[in-house]
Amino acid sequence: AQKVTQAQTEISVVEKEDVTLDCVYETRDTTYYLFWYKQPPSGELVFLIRRNSFDEQNEISGRYSWNFQKSTSSFNFTITASQVVDSAVYFCALSEANFGNEKLTFGTGTRLTIIP
């Protein structure tokens, strides 16, 4: 069975600080996909990144960066120089590579509050 754990329920940081959101996953599949989604107060889930299990390269997109380590089954997300607009709930998710049934297993989310 697949499982995603986001141990940090809530995090608060002062604006401009860096913050890392942790994600640990469990799966027996050798091929799988990992995701991060942002859910602002308005409710919709906004896609941030997808990473497949064969690509362990870290990725940077503006102030966002992701660290994928298969050895520790972790896919952590760092926001550099945080801004108030980053305040949201962030979900890490896992999906097996079953085309036509890309079922997402979500973690319980981390509520991030950026204090101005």
Sites of contact with another protein (CB under 8 A): 33, 35, 37, 42-47, 50, 52, 91, 95, 97, 99-104, 106-109
Say if residues 90 and 75 touch (Cβ distance below 8 Å). Answer: no
- Residue type at 87? S
* Minimal distance, residue 33 CB to another protein, in Å: 6
Half-sphere exposure at residue 7, Cβ-oriented, CA atoms within 13 angstroms: 8
* Minimal distance, residue 106 CB to another protein, in Å: 4
Nearer to another protein, 70 or 103 (CB): 103
Say if residues 66 and 78 touch (Cβ distance below 8 Å). Answer: yes
* Minimal distance, residue 65 CB to another protein, in Å: 18
Nearer to another protein, 48 or 80 (CB): 48
Assign residue 81 a region (left: φ > 0; alpha: ψ between -120 and 50; beta: otherwise): left
Nearer to another protein, 33 or 73 (CB): 33
